[in-house]
Amino acid sequence: MKPSQFQHHAPEQIGEVVGLLAQYGDDAKVLAGGQSLIPIMALRMATYPHLVDIARVPSLSAITASAGSVKVGAMVRQAHAERHAAVATVPLLAKAIPHIGHFQIRNRGTVGGSIAHADPASELPAVALALDARIEATGPGGVRHIDAADFFLSTWQTALDDGEILSAVEFPVWGAHSGFGVEEIARRKGDFALVGALAGVTLDGDRVTRACITMIGVGSTPVRCHDAEAALIAGGATTDLDEIGRIAAAPLTPTHDVHASAAYRKHVSPAIVRRALTAALKEARS
């Protein structure tokens, strides 16, 4: 469980990062917090002769609030984001972070690294998808933006092009009377979710004017539950949330692993959605 030899690059400008990625191509990998990459290399599931460490690029560690959104640099540590005043305006992000692993992992793990890694059981890709975040990608051709809805292609696969780095994520800020809930079940605290749901609502009285429901652990990407969102908006805040849960779960085709079967994951999904929505509605009403 020792990684094979690699060269560690420590650029200080985003331009250098992109340059190194162009120079080494498939032999290079971006190193952010290392919480997924390093174990993968130690187990020799993957071998990269060049690691491009982005920890020393100041622009990647910035959190900037602007009208209607908060931009989180790729290298912002999860623990830092969790406690940051600007991130408090994106409650779903702040609520999701404590579910990531253990505090030691969140101290090193980064917001951008988790989203770029695109594990289907991870919380942060789901936050991005739920909130319609915009992914900022920087490559040889400059900066472009990718909607979260178009970003997650499959397990560990994203819409980033070869040579591109995820440089920041812009999370929209929802207005007043909004509430959010994160519910997940894991074998132990800090484990990958067997099934999880992230939900958000905006209320106007009992009217639901905005809703998002995203599930994790139930497919090869985080899954946005559009039909359930539409049913909730149509039915309002007093809708039978079990029914919303069933609508959310109906199209899911989860896979199995040693921790849970596909049937188990599908069976428990409605309740998890209901719990996340219950929390979101409670917060929105308060």
Partner 1 sequence: MSSPVAARFVGSAVHRKEDRRLLTGHGQYVADASAPRMVHAAFLRSELAKARLNSVNIEAAKSAPGVIAVFLWSDFHEKFGEAWHGMLGEQLVVPPPLAIMDVRYVGDPIALVVAETRALAEDACALIEVDYEPEQATVDYASAAADSNVVHAAWGLPSNVMVEVPFTPMSADLDETFNSVEHVVETTIVQNRYLCVPMETRGVLASWTPGLEELDLIVATQSVHETRNFFARYLGLDEGAVRVTARDVGGGFGQKMFVYREECAVVLATKLLGRPVKWIEDRLENLTSAGHSRNELGKVRMAITADGVIEAITVDHVADVGAYTPCPAVMDPTLLPGPYRIPRLGFSTQMVWTNTMGKAAYRGPWMFETTAREMAIDVAARQIGMDPAELRRKNLLSLAELPFTSPGGKLFQEITPLETLEQALGMLGYDEFRKEQAAAREQGRWLGVGICVYVEPTSMEQATLATEGATIRIESSGKVVAFLSTTSHGQSIETTMAQIIADQIGVGYDDVTVVQADTQSTPYGPGTGGSRTAVIAGGAAHDAAVAVRDKVLAIAAHMMEAAPEDLQIAEGVVAVRGTPDRSLTIKEVATQAYTNAHTLPVDVAGGLEATIRFKPKRFPTWSNAAHVCVVEIDPETFIPRILRYIVSEDCGKMINPQVVEGQIFGGVVQGLGGVLYEDFRYDTDGNPQTTTFLDYLLPTTGETPLIEIGHLESVSTTNPGGFKGMGEGGAIGAHAAVANAVGDALAHLGVNVTSTPLGPEQIFELVQASQKERA
Chain residues in the site for partner 1 (CB under 8 A): 1-5, 39, 43-44, 185, 187-192, 194, 257-261, 263-264, 267-268, 271-272
Helix (H) or strand (E) holding 264: helix 262-285
171 in Cβ contact with 131 (< 8 Å): yes
Closest separation in Å from C-beta 78 to partner 1: 18
Q: Which is nearer to partner 1, 84 or 274 (CB)?
A: 274
SS3 282: helix
Query: Which tokens in the block code for residue 238?
Result: 């007093």
Residue 157 backbone phi and psi in degrees, to 5: -125, 130
Closest separation in Å from C-beta 182 to partner 1: 15
Strand pairing class (165-172; 63-66): unpaired
CA torsion sign, 254 to 259 to 264 to 269?
negative
Query: Which tokens in the block code for residue 207?
Result: 């009217």
Closest separation in Å from C-beta 201 to partner 1: 21
Closest separation in Å from C-beta 241 to partner 1: 13
Strand pairing class (165-172; 134-139): antiparallel
Q: Which is nearer to partner 1, 226 or 246 (CB)?
A: 246
Q: Which is nearer to partner 1, 182 or 271 (CB)?
A: 271
Closest separation in Å from C-beta 103 to partner 1: 12
Q: Which is nearer to partner 1, 190 or 235 (CB)?
A: 190
Q: Which is nearer to partner 1, 210 or 267 (CB)?
A: 267
The residue type at 225: C
